[in-house]
Amino acid sequence: MKKVFIYSTVLFGSFLLIGCGSEESTTKRVGNKLGETMTELTQGIGEGIDNQMLVEVTFSEEMESKGYTKTVAKSFGVGSSDKGYSVYVIANEPDSSTLISKAFDDAGLEIGRAILDVNFKEDEAKYLNFIFNSEMDAQLVNLYTVEIK
Q: What is the pLDDT of residues 81-92, one digit of tens each?
A: 788 999 999 999
Provide the 8-state DSSP code for 6: H
Q: Report the alpha-carbon distance of residue 135 to residue 131 in Å, rounded.
A: 12
Calculate mean pLDDT across residues 122-147: 92
Instruction: Identify the pLDDT of residue 44.
Output: 46
Instruction: Identify the pLDDT of residue 45.
Output: 42
Calculate mean pLDDT across residues 6-14: 52
Given a contact cutoff of 8 angstroms between Cβ atoms, the answer to whether 144 and 75 are in contact is no
Q: What is the pLDDT of residues 39-84, one digit of tens each?
A: 544 444 444 444 567 889 999 999 999 999 998 899 887 667 788 9
Q: Which segment of 26-35, 59-68, 122-131 scores lowest on mean pLDDT?
A: 26-35
Instruction: Decide: helix, strand or coil at residue 141.
Output: coil
Given a contact cutoff of 8 angstroms between Cβ atoms, the answer to whether 104 and 85 are in contact is no
Provide the 8-state DSSP code for 133: -
Provide the 8-state DSSP code for 89: E
Instruction: Identify the pLDDT of residue 82.
Output: 83
CA dihedral 57, 61, 64, 69 (to 10 degrees): 10
Instruction: Identify the pLDDT of residue 10.
Output: 47
* Biggest CA pair distance of the chain: 72
**CB-based contacts of 144: which residues, under 8 Å, 6+ apart?**
55, 56, 57, 58, 73, 85, 101, 102, 103, 104, 130
Phi first, then psi: what are they for 122, rounded to 5°?
A: -60, 135
Instruction: Identify the pLDDT of residue 27.
Output: 62
Per-domain boundaries in the chain:
2-52, 57-148
Given the candidates 1.20.120, 1.10.3470, 2.60.40, 1.10.1060, the CATH classification of the domain at 57-148 is 2.60.40
